[in-house]
Structure 1
Amino acid sequence: MKRFFIGSLALVGALSLLFVGAVVGLVILGASNKPGVPAEVVLELELSEPLEEYVPEDSLAGAFGDEKLTVRDVVDALEKAGEDARVKALVVKLDGAPGSLAVVQEVRDAVKAFRAKGKKAVVYADTFGEGGGATGAYYLATAFDEIYIQPSGDVSVVGAAVETPFGRDMLAKLGVKPRMGKRYEYKAAVNSYTEQTYTEAHREETERFLTSLFGQVVKGVAEGRELSEEQVKAAIDAAPLLGKEALEAKLVDGLLYRDEVYAKVKEEAGKGAQLLYVEKYLERAGRPNTHGPVVALIYGAGGISRGRSHTNPMSGEVTMGSETVAAAIRKAADDERVKAIVFRVDSPGGSYVASDTVRREVQRAKEKGKPVIVSMGTYAASGGYFVSMDADKIVAQPGTLTGSIGVYSGKLVTADFWEKLGVNWETLAVGKNAAMYSSDLDFTPEQLAKHESSLDRVYEDFTAKAAAGRKMPVEKLREVAKGRVWTGEDAKERGLVDELGGFGVALKLAKEAAKLEGPVKVEMFPRKKGTAEVLAELLGEKKGENSEDEEAGAEVSAPWSPVLKQTQALYQLGVKLGMVEERRQMLSAPVPDTTW
């Protein structure tokens, strides 16, 4: 029986090896038969949902279907195609904005650069808005040579709006008391809990934010459609416009169906031109910037927390862990091949301590002679600004949400709420302030003073370091701080960023700072992991011999863990646990939910 058992195991092992060998063989065979790029190509891109800023290096999304398209994928593909004689044109089917205003501007820049190489770009939408606004999608469309909608379509370019909920009175009815502190009046993250309407400062910064965004859209549409800004504003105020009205207003070039648009583009591209998806083109043609001295590209995406970055391998949702990002910067700084670092930040902020950990590594990289250029995405505010402010140069899109140099912290006191439910929580503690941040007890006068003092300390540290990083007097820096958010456009005027633009501008500045001429190789830090490595980590395998040797990867969360967390949260009740993170010193910005 023992021999039979051992023999069975050997047979299973042999069959497993044969299976693995067959799979590897099929992969090699598939790679060798991989189709190339046709001699004449019309690139095709379908934008029906927001582009991802960053697909984590340990994401399993690609193993269960096509990996999500990122902002950089589109930018790189169009840069490569602009220099490729095989590519004759670009046609985009647009079903909505691919993201925030900053993301739209990144894609607009890439389309305009593609056209500057003598390539034609055409966009088609069945409609720009059906029962809703489509200002963002139309703003993107105006970067193209020609815009078409189908005859039954509309152009609903209605402007931009922000809706903010205020729940102070609701919390009072529930018996919940907000005990929140902030520095200073523009730090509006806590206002939804402490106010019932906009404060004067909150209203001022939000209206200015909207005005700046609106002005950018009007200017872009006017330039793209060769109209005056007055004509564009008049069209926005008259919207939604029927297709014929939009054609008369010169907002579109024709009323055609999809098949008619695609046939027209292919005909103009030349006989034999074939359609090829942008993602397929990128896969076959490769990315630009693959040869020469190395410029490291490091992402800091998601809310900032202490420890390693976390990602749900199924959804791709990420947090910026200070250990992971700091390790990536250290590795790039210690790598002799790396001549400069581009740090792409897309974060509304988070932990003060975690933000300072990342900032320190940016500072150390510079001390080692490695220039660091920050490229801001949708937002790089509060903690997102904290990790950026020591860079040699900061680049933001005009529509990037940045600044918010301030701090908030506190708790919700829920004792009266639980009493209404007939639940009595009793706290036993050893130490005068052991229960200081308990949500069942209010602050004592002494504890409140300690809490306020800690907010002062963080604000003073933040503003002092920001002033040093931006090389400006601290008094001047504090004039534009106070927790206020700015668009990239306004932030540049106030010295908080250096240049407006995206990846291309950041890479150019990195080359200049490192005194590099000619082509460069953009290399991701940390490198992207294979599916097998991700699965091994899910099963508990730890990489690296020590903390310095360990790869700066994200910590993989099992896809079912959010369900467990939600169950626990329901047990304790969302009102009680929903504010746990607010007890920390938070460098986090309110992200306006902009409808446009």
Structure 2
Amino acid sequence: MKRFLIGALAFIGAMSVLFMLGLIALIVMASTSRPSVPSNLVLEMDLSQPLPEHVSGDSLAGAFGEDPLTVRDVVDALEKAGEDSRVKSLVVRVGTSPGTPATTQELRDAVKAFRAKGKKAIAFTDSFGEEANGTSAYYFASAFDEIYMQPSGAVNIIGLAFETPFARDALAKLGVKPQFDKRYEFKNAVNSYTEQGYTGPHLEATERFAGSLFGQMVRGIAEGRGLTEDAVRALIDRAPLLAPEAVDGKLLNGLRYRDEVYAEQKKAAGDGAELLYVKKYLERAGRPHTTGETIALVYGVGEVARGKSGGSPFGEGAMGGDTVAAALRKASEDSRVKAIIFRVDSPGGSYVASDTVRREVQRAREAGKPVIATMGSYAASGGYYFAMEADKIVAQPGTLTGSIGVYTGKFVTNGFWEKLGVNFDTVALGRNATLASSDADYTPEQQARVDAELDRIYTDFTTRAASSRKMPLEKLQGLAKGRVWTGEDALENGLVDALGGYAKALELAKEAAKLPADARVRIEEYPRKKSPAEVLSSVLGETGDNSEDTSATTAVVTPWAPLVEATRVVHGLGVRLGVFAPERGSLYAPMPQTRW
């Protein structure tokens, strides 16, 4: 009996192993098999959700073919399709905005480049906003040859608005006292806690930022629809517009249903034309830039934290300074790599982690590897701190950048706990042992240390920024003080070198690497994205080592990772609300809620 049980258990174990190996094999086979591209097709995209900038290499979704379409996916697919004779046109159902102003501009540029190669691009929507603001969705659509809308829809191009909550009085009622210090008056990251409305500098910066974005949007719509800027502004002031009014205003080419638009595009493409989604096309046709000299692509996406990236198997976590630094180091040490494109999409975070990344950008350049930083939605505060070390900086006109400043502080919550009948007694050894305690204000000695820390960080930030931008310190300090800028204004002020996105960054990378403008190049991501089998193996409990091999530069993934990730998010919220002590010396620039 005993031998039978042992044999049965062994059989079950062997079958389990064979099952998992078979599952991994099926996933690998599914990921490597590539159906053919139809000989005559209309490229299709359904834009019903904002697009993410990047998906973590540890995403489990990709193992089952569910990775979301990213910004770079669309850019690459349209670049590939522009040169593909099988692709006759592009039709996009615009359900919402592609994302932030910078993301929207990146995709508008890709659509315009597609059209410049002789391909037609058609936008369709059921409505540009129904009860919501549809301005950003229409701004994206204005880059297309033609725009059609369902007859029952409306064109809600009502402009843009920034909404910033201020909770100082609410916190006071709860017995919570925000005690924060910053350098300097434009560093508005903590104003939601310390003020009850816009301060003068906060309002000045926000109005200028909003005005710059609004001007970009008006110019883009005017250019795309063959209208004057005054005409576009007048239409915005009249909106929401009924469908016939939008046609009369030349914002739409006509009123049609989806089936009519798609049928017409298939007919125009010729006999046997098929529809194929952008993501499927990219999977089958492959990405552009796969042969030639190697250009590395490194992502710095998310809030900056010390240590390794907090990658979740189901999405994107925090940007770990050690992870991104290791990727930059690996790319700079690879003899095949001629230049590095560093994609930054970060509002900042930890000063120490930002400096870890900045140092590796500096070392890459010292090793003879040019670094071109390309900014996504944000490259502000800590994000600007490590981007500024690059040879050249590219930003979209609508990128939020700058915010050269620092803040630190804590929430004093003893009044809140007193209301609940909770009292904390403390035994502390060391004069400043309670520096981060939420139970009491800073002592004069502690305040002096906080001020010294802020002054040191601000001096370091501005001095390095002035040096990297080859700008007199006095001029740089006039642009600093924590103030955010659009990419458009940053270019005018010398904080970035060019406007554009991936395509412009690649152009500058070739130039810096002394490659011909038309040279074929291979863009290789560092660290490389894990295969579906590797992701599944990680989830099943296999771990990476501490080496700098590109397959082991993210945090270990276990079946508990989703819970760990959720806990990290809750902890981050707790920091904001004062439940936990925040990182000291934060280089962070949150974006106010934008309605557009």
TM-score normalised by structure 1 residue count: 0.95
The one-letter code of the counterpart of 1:577 is V
- Closer/same/farther in 2, CA of residues 528 and 3 from structure 1, 3 Å limit: same
* Alignment-derived partner of residue 564 in structure 2: 561
Q: Deviations over 1:333-363 (max 9, x none)?
A: 0011111100000000000000000000000
For the Cα contact (< 8 Å) 1:112–1:144, is it kept in 2? yes
Q: For 1:68-107, what aligned pairs fall within 5 Å after superposition?
A: 68-107=68-107
For the Cα contact (< 8 Å) 1:569–1:577, is it kept in 2? no
Shift of 1:68: 0.5
Shift of 1:441: 1.2
* Alignment-derived partner of residue 577 in structure 1: 579
How many residue pairs match? The answer is 592
For the Cα contact (< 8 Å) 1:78–1:111, is it kept in 2? yes
Answer yes or no: is 1:223 the counterpart of 2:223: yes
Shift of 1:174: 1.5
For the Cα contact (< 8 Å) 1:406–1:481, is it kept in 2? yes
* Alignment-derived partner of residue 398 in structure 1: 397
- Closer/same/farther in 2, CA of residues 28 and 502 from structure 1, 3 Å limit: closer
Shift of 1:530: 2.6
- Closer/same/farther in 2, CA of residues 590 and 162 from structure 1, 3 Å limit: same
- Closer/same/farther in 2, CA of residues 393 and 202 from structure 1, 3 Å limit: same
* Alignment-derived partner of residue 486 in structure 2: 487
Pick which of 238-247 and 416-425 moved more. Answer: 416-425
* Alignment-derived partner of residue 385 in structure 1: 384
Q: For 1:259-298, what aligned pairs fall within 5 Å after superposition?
A: 259-298=259-298
- Closer/same/farther in 2, CA of residues 29 and 162 from structure 1, 3 Å limit: closer
CA–CA distance in structure 1, aligned partners of residues 28 and 409 of structure 2: 57
* Alignment-derived partner of residue 519 in structure 1: 520
SS in 2 for 1:188: coil
CA–CA distance in structure 2, aligned partners of residues 543 and 566 of structure 1: 24
* Alignment-derived partner of residue 128 in structure 2: 128
CA–CA distance in structure 2, aligned partners of residues 230 and 34 of structure 1: 50
CA–CA distance in structure 2, aligned partners of residues 488 and 526 of structure 1: 28
Pick which of 349-358 and 413-422 moved more. Answer: 413-422
CA–CA distance in structure 2, aligned partners of residues 19 and 175 of structure 1: 58
SS in 1 for 2:543: coil
The one-letter code of the counterpart of 2:554 is G
- Closer/same/farther in 2, CA of residues 276 and 183 from structure 1, 3 Å limit: same
Answer yes or no: is 1:152 the counterpart of 2:155: no
Pick which of 442-451 and 276-285 moved more. Answer: 442-451
Q: Which residues of structure 2 form unaligned runs of 5+? A: none
C-alpha root-mean-square deviation of aligned residues, in Å? 2.1
SS in 2 for 1:584: coil
* Alignment-derived partner of residue 411 in structure 2: 412
Pick which of 69-78 and 261-270 moved more. Answer: 261-270
The one-letter code of the counterpart of 1:88 is K
For the Cα contact (< 8 Å) 2:310–2:554, is it kept in 1? no
- Closer/same/farther in 2, CA of residues 94 and 388 from structure 1, 3 Å limit: same
* Alignment-derived partner of residue 233 in structure 1: 233
For the Cα contact (< 8 Å) 1:73–1:279, is it kept in 2? yes
CA–CA distance in structure 2, aligned partners of residues 494 and 26 of structure 1: 54
For the Cα contact (< 8 Å) 1:376–1:397, is it kept in 2? yes
The one-letter code of the counterpart of 1:497 is V
Shift of 1:577: 1.3
Shift of 1:568: 8.2
The one-letter code of the counterpart of 2:450 is H
The one-letter code of the counterpart of 1:476 is K
CA–CA distance in structure 2, aligned partners of residues 85 and 493 of structure 1: 40
CA–CA distance in structure 2, aligned partners of residues 33 and 573 of structure 1: 46
- Closer/same/farther in 2, CA of residues 362 and 563 from structure 1, 3 Å limit: closer
- Closer/same/farther in 2, CA of residues 70 and 28 from structure 1, 3 Å limit: closer
SS in 1 for 2:504: helix
- Closer/same/farther in 2, CA of residues 219 and 558 from structure 1, 3 Å limit: same
- Closer/same/farther in 2, CA of residues 562 and 510 from structure 1, 3 Å limit: closer
For the Cα contact (< 8 Å) 1:308–1:321, is it kept in 2? yes
* Alignment-derived partner of residue 346 in structure 2: 347
- Closer/same/farther in 2, CA of residues 544 and 39 from structure 1, 3 Å limit: same
- Closer/same/farther in 2, CA of residues 574 and 205 from structure 1, 3 Å limit: closer
For the Cα contact (< 8 Å) 2:543–2:556, is it kept in 1? no
CA–CA distance in structure 2, aligned partners of residues 422 and 361 of structure 1: 50
* Alignment-derived partner of residue 532 in structure 2: 531
Answer yes or no: is 1:361 the counterpart of 2:364: no
For the Cα contact (< 8 Å) 2:31–2:532, is it kept in 1? no
- Closer/same/farther in 2, CA of residues 423 and 164 from structure 1, 3 Å limit: same
Shift of 1:536: 3.9
Shift of 1:575: 4.1
CA–CA distance in structure 2, aligned partners of residues 236 and 363 of structure 1: 46
CA–CA distance in structure 1, aligned partners of residues 300 and 276 of structure 2: 32
Q: For 1:103-114, what aligned pairs fall within 5 Å after superposition?
A: 103-114=103-114
- Closer/same/farther in 2, CA of residues 573 and 19 from structure 1, 3 Å limit: closer
Q: Deviations over 1:544-574 (max 9, x none)?
A: 364678732344471122555688899x998
Shift of 1:268: 1.2
Shift of 1:35: 2.3
The one-letter code of the counterpart of 2:278 is V
CA–CA distance in structure 2, aligned partners of residues 259 and 549 of structure 1: 46
Q: For 1:236-255, what aligned pairs fall within 5 Å after superposition?
A: 236-255=236-255
Answer yes or no: is 1:496 the counterpart of 2:515: no
For the Cα contact (< 8 Å) 1:112–1:143, is it kept in 2? yes
- Closer/same/farther in 2, CA of residues 91 and 2 from structure 1, 3 Å limit: same
SS in 2 for 1:311: coil
Q: Deviations over 1:88-133 (max 9, x none)?
A: 0000001010100100000000000000000000000001010121
- Closer/same/farther in 2, CA of residues 576 and 34 from structure 1, 3 Å limit: closer
Percent identity, aligned pairs only, is 62
Answer yes or no: is 1:370 the counterpart of 2:372: no
CA–CA distance in structure 2, aligned partners of residues 50 and 400 of structure 1: 16
The one-letter code of the counterpart of 1:395 is V
Shift of 1:528: 0.9
CA–CA distance in structure 2, aligned partners of residues 426 and 470 of structure 1: 50
For the Cα contact (< 8 Å) 1:544–1:550, is it kept in 2? no
For the Cα contact (< 8 Å) 1:42–1:273, is it kept in 2? yes
For the Cα contact (< 8 Å) 1:455–1:585, is it kept in 2? yes
SS in 1 for 2:290: coil
Q: Which residues of structure 1 form unaligned runs of 5+? A: none
Shift of 1:33: 6.8
CA–CA distance in structure 1, aligned partners of residues 42 and 88 of structure 2: 6
- Closer/same/farther in 2, CA of residues 444 and 545 from structure 1, 3 Å limit: closer
Answer yes or no: is 1:428 the counterpart of 2:430: no
CA–CA distance in structure 2, aligned partners of residues 166 and 213 of structure 1: 23
* Alignment-derived partner of residue 12 in structure 2: 12
Shift of 1:420: 1.3
Shift of 1:15: 3.1
Q: For 1:16-35, what aligned pairs fall within 5 Å after superposition?
A: 16=16, 18-19=18-19, 22-23=22-23, 34-35=34-35
For the Cα contact (< 8 Å) 2:155–2:242, is it kept in 1? yes
* Alignment-derived partner of residue 66 in structure 1: 66
CA–CA distance in structure 2, aligned partners of residues 215 and 411 of structure 1: 38
For the Cα contact (< 8 Å) 1:58–1:530, is it kept in 2? no
For the Cα contact (< 8 Å) 2:466–2:473, is it kept in 1? yes
Q: Deviations over 1:315-334 (max 9, x none)?
A: x1321101100000000000
SS in 2 for 1:492: helix
For the Cα contact (< 8 Å) 1:150–1:258, is it kept in 2? yes
Pick which of 13-22 and 264-273 moved more. Answer: 13-22
TM-score normalised by structure 2 residue count: 0.95
CA–CA distance in structure 1, aligned partners of residues 378 and 525 of structure 2: 21
CA–CA distance in structure 2, aligned partners of residues 455 and 574 of structure 1: 19
Pick which of 242-251 and 30-39 moved more. Answer: 30-39
Q: Deviations over 1:66-102 (max 9, x none)?
A: 2100000000000000000000000000101010010
CA–CA distance in structure 1, aligned partners of residues 569 and 317 of structure 2: 17
- Closer/same/farther in 2, CA of residues 458 and 504 from structure 1, 3 Å limit: same
CA–CA distance in structure 2, aligned partners of residues 28 and 290 of structure 1: 21
